[in-house]
Amino acid sequence: MEEVAVKPFTQDLLRRWLSPAVIIVLVLLAGFVPWLVNRENVWNLLYLICLYITLGQSWNILAGFAGQTSLGHAAFFGIGALVVRTLWLGGVPFFLAFPLAGVAAVAFSLIIGVPTFRLRGAYFAIATLGVAEVLRIIVSQNLPMISTISAVQIANYNLPTRYYAMLGLTLATMVSAYLLLRSSLGLGILAVREDEEAARATGVSVLGHKLLALVMSSFFAGLAGSMFAFQQISYYPSAPFNPNWSFESVLVAYVGGLGSLIGPVIGAIFYIFVHEVLAIRLVNFHQVIFGLLFIVIVLLFPGGLMEAWNRIAILLKQIWKKVVSHRKPGGQPL
Partner 1 sequence: MNFENVIQSLMFGLFTGAIYGIAAVGLSLVFGVLKVLNVAHGELLMLGGYISYFAFAAWGLDPFLSLLIVIPAMILAGIVLDRVLFRHIVRQEGEEKIKNSLLVSFGLALIMQNLAITQFTADDRSIQVAYMGMGINLLGISLPYSRLGSLILALVVILALHFFLHHSLAGKAVLATAEDVEAAELAGINIHRVFMLTFAVGASLAAIAGTQVVLTYGISPSVGLYWTLKALIIVILAGTNSILGAFPAGLLLGVVEGLSGAFLGQTYSEVIGLVMFLLVLMLRPQGLFVRQ
Any contact of residue 287 with partner 1 (CB under 8 A)? yes
Compute how many residues bind partner 1; rule: CB under 8 A. Answer: 40
Q: Backbone dihedral region of 294: left (phi > 0), alpha (psi from -120 to 50 degrees) or beta? A: alpha
Interacting span for partner 1 (CB under 8 A) from 41-49, 114-122, 304-312, 313-321: 114-122
Do residues 68 and 62 touch, judged by C-beta distance below 8 A? yes
Based on CB atoms, which residue is closest to partner 1, 44 or 86? 86
Give the nearest distance from C-beta 117 to partner 1 in angstroms: 10
**Residue at 103: amino acid letter:** V
Which one of residues 17, 35, 95, 285 is an interface residue with partner 1 (CB under 8 A)? Answer: 285
> What is the spatial distance between Cα 97 and Cα 79, in angstroms, rounded to a whole number?
12
Give the nearest distance from C-beta 67 to partner 1 in angstroms: 8
Greatest extent of the chain over all pairs of C-alpha atoms, in Å: 84
H helix count then E strand count, the chain: 14, 2
Do residues 297 and 254 touch, judged by C-beta distance below 8 A? yes
Based on CB atoms, which residue is closest to partner 1, 112 or 214? 112
Give the nearest distance from C-beta 217 to partner 1 in angstroms: 16
**Residues 213 to 272 in contact with partner 1, rule: CB under 8 A:** 243-244, 247, 250, 254
**Residues 64 to 103 in contact with partner 1, rule: CB under 8 A:** 69, 71
Based on CB atoms, which residue is closest to partner 1, 140 or 176? 140
Nearest of 49, 116, 73, 4 to residue 221 by alpha carbon: 73
Any contact of residue 55 with partner 1 (CB under 8 A)? no
Interacting span for partner 1 (CB under 8 A) from 86-94, 138-146, 261-269, 303-311: 138-146
Other CB atoms within 10 Å distance of the CB of residue 276: 14
